[in-house]
Structure 1
Amino acid sequence: MKSIIALMDYKTKFGSKHFDTPYRSGMDKDKLSDYFNDMGFRLAYTYFNEINLSEGTFKDKDVIYTSSEDIGYKYKSYIEDVIYALELSGANVVPAYKHLRANNNKVFMELMRQFEDLTNNINAQVYGSMKDLLMHLNKVTYPVVFKTSEGASGTGVCLIKSEKELITKVKQINQRNYRSDLRDYGRSLKHEGYIRESLYRQKFILQDFIPNLQNDWKIYIFGEKLYVFKRPLLKGRGIKASGGGYDNYFYGLEAEAPDGLFDFA
């Protein structure tokens, strides 16, 4: 029977299932093992922290894992390091590292959409700092959708209606470190010609606003199957349909998916 390595976090959790018992405990690993066993595969559960690449034992091995939505995405960053190293060492990681990188990272998501030519129906620009934005400020058309790179359930998403509002928003998403800023200012006094760091270096996205929408659709793709659900705009949430709660969504035929929807997916 072929073996597959399944990586767990320090809480012995595999998967991002929230509504479980105990709460947010992930998938039932025993059931998961049984399902894989029925398909002819044995799951070998291993902690991320047990990976030792100096042993050279992971080449051509199959490895499955899930991402993390921990506070601040700090453990998710650690998972990225482990998975990318495994991929470089020759392991068959599922999902591939690029998909992990895109998880809760809308800037990379947008760049991946561009270089893989996934869809050209929606225009968006990505920026890494206020100074990046200022170089292209005259090209922004209002209203425009603003998105922080991180965040789920509609957090970090808003509609910007003016240049002044946009500048203010970019400042708001940045947490200043005044001690570091002061040191950098000192460098500009000490070293002639030194260009100071931008004070606002939190990456973000500007996306074309599509008016008159009353909902959006979310599409899950598993192999050859696509699952659609409709997310209506709820009162008090502005332009955000995401984060309205699963009880408010419409599934299957009730999603009323229009012709051409998959061209945007």
Structure 2
Amino acid sequence: MNPKPELVLLTGDQGFYGQTRKAWVSMDASVLEKHLSSLGYPVQRYTFQELYNRNILLSGKTILYTFSQKENVRQYIRDVIFNLSKTNKIIPSLDLLLCHENKGYQELYKRELGMTGLKAWYFSGLQDIDAYDISYPVVLKTVSGSNGKGVFLIPDQKSLERQVQKLTHVGFWTRVDLFRRRHFRKRTYPDYPHHDDYVDYLQYKEYITRHQNFILQEFIPGLTYDTRVLALEGKFFVTRRHTRKGDFRASGTKKFDFDFTPDDALLEFASKTAQRFNTPFLSMDIIQDGESCYLIEYQASHFGVSAITKSRGYYIREGSTWTFREDKQTVEQEITEALDRYLTRGIES
């Protein structure tokens, strides 16, 4: 029997490992560590800051790490994990870390994995948008945001231009500075004889304008819900999220249904999708249009866990059929056991 690898559990300050009830509420890192030890894994636990600032060098380890919804902490985690990924196995993968709160990279990574589905475009501004064959209406999404924030239904190109301009609003003092440069600033630069004040003003205006990266995604009309599927290495927890009347968005409505029977097509799609990502934890937002299923968003660690805490159980594939099993475990148990199944599968394959 192959020995189990040594694990490193990386947490935020004060042992934060997101998330449970809300993004700011941690799992119990001590319980995670205890469960992993009971499954036979030697475990070392550090915070991100002490790992670097105490000069702890890791190589050849398997590292399970937390995420964060705080932007500065996310950047800190990205820096540390990118460095560790050069000599260690990190879970979730570096690509899935880059997907966290970044819907743009989510689309790039889906394409890399060969996942076709809804048409999507990724832009950093409105430049050259006429060059693309975009069918309206279309859904505009900012690259970050949750609970339906930063998501808009766009009926035509003029509406798209107005919405992007709202997202990139220029402040009052910036407008004053631009007016001054345009009408009152006269400069000469002996070292740059081709300098032109008006051209410089245009270039500077473009340089300081706050741009907004955004996704345009094909719109499927008439949908009244989407399905959140939480895949934990062979276990599939499902939640249906209903839209409000007159709104196409299911995210953020808080209209959850934990007591329904998903059809086999959705479960098969979720299973095949999870296999492509090859990660022990994957939260998927899936929509269905007839027999077709589409992955619209996903996260690999810092996701809502109500599908675990409020569902009666989970679905599992047994042979060629799907079976529902009633079961209740803590979030910490589900996470550690999914990691164990994932690592065991890797060792045995």
Which residue pairs with 2:151 in the alignment? 157
Alignment map for 1:246-265 (pairs within 5 Å): 248-251=255-258, 254-257=260-263, 259=265, 262=269, 264-265=294-295
Per-residue Cα deviation, 1:21-73 (whole angstroms, up to 9, x for no partner): xx933011222122111101233221111233996831111211121112xx2
Which residue pairs with 2:326 in the alignment? none
Instruction: State how far apart, in whole Å, the 2-side matches of 1:184 and 1:31 are.
Output: 60
Given the alignment of the two structures, is residue 209 of structure 1 paired with residue 219 of structure 2, yes or no?
Answer: yes
Could you tell me which of 3, 7, 15 is aligned with 1:4?
Answer: 7
Identity %: 26
* Structure with the greater alpha carbon radius of gyration: 2
Kindly provide the amino acid, as one letter, of the partner of residue 155 in structure 2. K
Contact 2:98/2:105, CA 8 A, preserved across alignment: yes
How far does residue 145 in structure 1 lie from its aligned partner after superposition? Answer: 0.6
Contact 1:62/1:92, CA 8 A, preserved across alignment: yes
Which residue pairs with 1:24 in the alignment? 24
Instruction: State how far apart, in whole Å, the 1-side matches of 2:219 and 2:211 are.
Output: 24
How far does residue 191 in structure 1 lie from its aligned partner after superposition? Answer: 7.1
Shift of the 17–61 alpha-carbon distance from structure 1 to 2, 3 Å rule, reads same
Unaligned runs of 5+ in 1: none
Which residue pairs with 1:33 in the alignment? 33
Instruction: State how far apart, in whole Å, the 1-side matches of 2:113 and 2:14 are.
Output: 35
Q: Partner of 1:31: helix, strand, or coil? A: helix
Q: What TM-score do the two structures reach when normalised by structure 1?
A: 0.82
Instruction: State how far apart, in whole Å, the 1-side matches of 2:263 and 2:210 are.
Output: 40
Kindly provide the amino acid, as one letter, of the partner of residue 257 in structure 2. F
Contact 1:129/1:200, CA 8 A, preserved across alignment: no
Contact 2:7/2:44, CA 8 A, preserved across alignment: yes
Cα-Cα RMSD: 3.1
Unaligned runs of 5+ in 2: 186-194, 270-292, 296-349
Shift of the 175–259 alpha-carbon distance from structure 1 to 2, 3 Å rule, reads same
Given the alignment of the two structures, is residue 189 of structure 1 paired with residue 197 of structure 2, yes or no?
Answer: yes
Per-residue Cα deviation, 1:99-153 (whole angstroms, up to 9, x for no partner): 01101100000111111112x12111000122253543xx222111110100011
Instruction: State how far apart, in whole Å, the 2-side matches of 1:154 and 1:38 are.
Output: 40
Given the alignment of the two structures, is residue 133 of structure 1 paired with residue 129 of structure 2, yes or no?
Answer: yes
Relative contact order: is structure 1 or structure 2 higher (C-alpha 8 Å, sep ≥ 6)?
2
How far does residue 81 in structure 1 lie from its aligned partner after superposition? Answer: 1.0
Instruction: State how far apart, in whole Å, the 2-side matches of 1:184 and 1:60 are.
Output: 56
Kindly provide the amino acid, as one letter, of the partner of residue 61 in structure 2. K
Instruction: State how far apart, in whole Å, the 1-side matches of 2:198 and 2:54 are.
Output: 44
Shift of the 134–3 alpha-carbon distance from structure 1 to 2, 3 Å rule, reads same
Contact 2:18/2:24, CA 8 A, preserved across alignment: no
How far does residue 163 in structure 1 lie from its aligned partner after superposition? Answer: 1.6
Q: What TM-score do the two structures reach when normalised by structure 2?
A: 0.64
Per-residue Cα deviation, 1:240-264 (whole angstroms, up to 9, x for no partner): 101122xx32236x04336356153
Per-residue Cα deviation, 1:67-102 (whole angstroms, up to 9, x for no partner): 1112xx2211111111111102x0111111110110
Instruction: State how far apart, in whole Å, the 2-side matches of 1:60 and 1:77 are.
Output: 24
Kindly provide the amino acid, as one letter, of the partner of residue 162 in structure 1. D
Instruction: State how far apart, in whole Å, the 1-side matches of 2:82 and 2:243 are.
Output: 38
